[in-house]
Amino acid sequence: MIAQENWAAALRAAEKAQSSVQALAKIRIAIGKRDADAEKLLKSAPASLKAEPGYILSEAQFLRRADKLEDAYQALARFPKDQTPPRPDEWWTERRVLARRLAETQKLDLILDLLKPRPGMNAAALADAAFMSGMFTLDLSGDAARAENFFSDSEKKATIEAGRIRAAYWIAEA
C-alpha cells in the first residue's frame, strides 16, 4: 500500500500490527509524502528498525532527495547484496535514480556498484543496468573497452529488439 502511495490504507493496516511495523509505516509514509517531520522520524527510529529493508530504502530516498548522494549510496549499501529485497522493482528504481544523480559527482565506482546485478532484478532491469554501466563508463572514464563489455552484456540481456539495437549501436560507437 505504501508503494502505491495509498497512505490512509497503509496506516490503517499498520495500526493492526506491532509497534515496530507502525513506526516503519509512519517513517515510510512521511518520506513518501515529503513531510517536514520525515528526518526527525528517521533519526528517532529504534535501532531494531534500521536494518529493515523498508527503513533502508526510505532512508536512501530521503537522503537522495536532500542531495546527500553519497550518504544515500551508503544507506543502500547496508542491504546485503546477495539477498532479494522486498519489491525488487522499487529498489531497482531507487538504485537507477541514485546512479544518475551520482553522475554529477563523477564517482564511477559508486555508480557501477549501484548498477551491479542483484537478486530479484527482472530481465529488463538487468539489461538496463548493463547499458547504463556502459554509458557512465564511457562518459566518466572514457574507457571504451570497458564500456563495450557492458554494452555487449546489455545486448545479450535485452528483452526487446530496441534494446539490442541500442546496445549494438553503442558497441560500434565505443
Residue at 16: amino acid letter: K
Average pLDDT over residues 62-69: 97
Q: What is the mean pLDDT of the chain?
A: 89
Print the domain residue range for 100: 1-107
Q: Looking at the 3D structure of the chain, how many domains does it have?
A: 2
User: With 90 as the cut, is the pLDDT of residue 9 above it?
Assistant: no
Residues 6+ apart with CB under 8 A from 75: 56, 59, 60, 63
57 plus 86 within the same structural domain: yes
pLDDT of the residue at 18 = 62
145 class by beta-carbon count within 10 Å (0-12 exposed, 13-18 middle, 19+ buried): exposed
Greater model confidence, 45 or 94: 94
Residue-wise over 15-30: b if at least 16 C-beta within 10 A, else e?
eeeeeebebbbbbbbb
37 plus 88 within the same structural domain: yes
Average pLDDT over residues 26-42: 85
pLDDT of the residue at 21 = 64
- Distance CA(51)–CA(150), nearest Å, equals 32
User: With 60 as the cut, is the pLDDT of residue 13 above it?
Assistant: no
Give domain status of residue 117, yes or no: no
102 plus 166 within the same structural domain: no
Confidence of residue 20 (pLDDT cuts 50, 70, 90): low
Give domain status of residue 7, yes or no: yes
Give domain status of residue 114, yes or no: no
CA pseudo-torsion sign 36, 37, 43, 45: negative
Residue at 8: amino acid letter: A
Give domain status of residue 115, yes or no: no
Average pLDDT over residues 152-167: 95
User: With 50 as the cut, is the pLDDT of residue 1 above it?
Assistant: no
96 plus 137 within the same structural domain: no
Average pLDDT over residues 111-140: 97
